[in-house]
Amino acid sequence: MDLQLIPVQQFQDFLLCLARVLALTTAIPAFTGATSATRLKIGLAVGTALVLFPLMAPHTPQVALNLTEFGLMIINEVLLGAMIGLTAQLVFTAVSFGGTVIGYQMGFAAANVFDPQTTQQMSLMSQFINILALLAFLSFNGHYFFFRVIVESYILLPPGFFGFSGDAIPELMRLGSHMFILGVKFSAPILALLLINNMVLGILARVFPQLNVFMLSFPVNIGIAFLVIGLTLNAMFFVLRREFDAMEFNILNLLQLLH
């Protein structure tokens, strides 16, 4: 006698829910990279899927799928989470880009540190500003939005085969171009003052040829950069708050465009 404890349809729905929840959970900026333990990510995803599974069941396919269709839908759910993760990481990539430009202008071109999140060498200022952005993201409760977007994603985009037709690709291209603009905005105040400082040092080098401008420029540039960072810290957090709010809108808009 064959005793079936869990119906196939229910187990299938849970795996579909788990695939999307796992992809979206690992897309949270605080959980990306190698610093977060894999067991922590999986445990958080399984716990979230168990809580949300009864609510998500009406939005999942109500017919049994064969192995090929089920595998394609699992891949589809993972790709959806990867796209949302890419949209969320664009803000932090812009911050890292701006920090790298600032570091080079300050004279920290060779001052690279190991980034455990990306397992790559990063500029010292890029790592510093990226950590500030991550702390701001957590202080603004931005990570709560990703748990809310799991529910919203099933309403806007039920499990199935989403398409890249329409405005989805142009929207991703627009977000990618905005990343470079945002990086320039983060570095613009410091770059402007460092440019003025270099012009002043150049004039001093012409007026006082015996002055060692090369050695003088290092402490002056570093001091000016840190002073400007301290004075514009509130403005930076204001821009980050605006970008995090826009990130939530962009993710929901992307889900609608993929429908």
pLDDT of residue 6: 61
pLDDT of residue 121: 66
152 confidence band (pLDDT: 50, 70, 90): confident
**Is pTM, for the whole model, over 0.85?**
no
Q: What is the mean pLDDT of the chain?
A: 77
pLDDT of residue 109: 65
The pLDDT tens digits of the residues spanning 167-208 come to 777 888 888 888 888 888 888 888 888 888 888 888 888 887
Residue 4 pLDDT > 60, yes or no? no
Strand pairing of 120-123 and 112-115?
Answer: antiparallel
Most trustworthy range by pLDDT among 137-151, 157-171, 192-206: 192-206
Question: What average pLDDT does range 113-119 have in this prediction?
Answer: 59
Domain edges within the chain: 8-257
Top pLDDT among 201 and 113 is at 201
Residue 1 pLDDT > 50, yes or no? no
Through-space distance between the first and last CA atoms of the chain, rounded to whole angstroms: 44
The pLDDT tens digits of the residues spanning 222-258 come to 888 888 888 888 888 888 888 888 888 888 888 887 7
Q: How is residue 4 annotated by DSSP?
A: -
pLDDT of residue 117: 58
The pLDDT tens digits of the residues spanning 65-94 come to 677 777 888 888 888 877 887 788 888 888
Question: What average pLDDT does range 39-65 have in this prediction?
Answer: 74
Residue 99 pLDDT > 70, yes or no? yes
Burial letters for 78-92: b for 16+ Cβ neighbours within 10 Å, e otherwise?
A: bebbebbbebbbbbb
The 3-state secondary structure of 218-258, one letter per residue = HHHHHHHHHHHHHHCHHHHHHHHHHHHHHHHHHHHHHHHHC
Residue 2 pLDDT > 50, yes or no? no
